[in-house]
Amino acid sequence: MTIEPPVKVLMVCMGNICRSPTAQAVFQYQAQRLGINIDIDSAGTLGFHEGEKPDPRARAAGEQRGYSFEHMRSRPVALQDFARFDYIFAADTQNVADLTAMCPPQYRYKIQLLLAGLGLETDEIPDPYYGGSDGFDYVLDLLEQAAQLRLPAMQTT
């Protein structure tokens, strides 16, 4: 019996306290539910919140749906992330631009907009940080749809 190595996925937003940790939690849960071996992490293009737990509003919205944010702490994207991860998913186009600017050329093909090409109502995950609680629920709705569409394709790679 051969055990497939995990698919390595990095979720990225600006501060790594709202969108990317929520994406990490959703994809981790859904991958486990589907039996997909995944090694997932999240990071931010900026280090403003380094060492902090995810935003309490993001945690509350996610935990209400059964997602765990246990042991998550904000960190900035590191140069070695580009070599380590198979997929680097960005929350929005500014994140894609920031990642592309810091990424060695041979790894740029790994950077993708998480929602792009999925046929959802938007290609970008809006930042709920300055809005109300409904923004966090909307982010969860988008990420749950993205996980349903992206994870099966990752299983076959």
149 part of a folded domain: yes
Active site residue 127: yes
Catalytic: which of 55, 59, 127, 150? 127
Runs of H (alpha helix) within 35-92: 56-64, 81-84
Q: Is residue 130 part of a domain?
A: yes
59 labelled catalytic: no
18 assigned to active site: no
In a domain, 109, yes or no: yes
Cβ atoms within 10 Å of 106's Cβ, excluding its own? 9
Q: Is the dihedral of CA 103, 10, 46, 95 positive or negative?
A: positive
- 2 falls within a domain: no
**Domains of the chain: total:** 1
| Alpha-carbon torsion, ordered 50, 54, 57, 63, to 10 deg | 180
* pLDDT for residue 157: 47
* In a domain? residue 33: yes
In a domain? residue 23 = yes
On whether residue 89 sits in a domain, the answer given is: yes
Q: Residue 133 is part of a domain; what is its CATH number?
A: 3.40.50.2300
Domain that holds residue 51: 7-155
Catalytic residue among 18, 19, 81, 98: 19
pLDDT 10s digit of each residue in the chain, 157 long?
Answer: 557 789 999 999 999 999 999 999 999 999 999 999 999 999 999 999 999 999 999 999 999 999 999 999 999 999 999 999 999 999 999 999 999 999 999 999 999 999 999 999 999 999 999 988 899 999 999 999 999 999 998 875 4
Catalytic site residue from 13, 59, 81, 92: 13
In-domain check, residue 117 = yes
Q: Where are the beta strands (DSSP E) in 1-145?
A: 7-13, 38-44, 87-90, 111-113
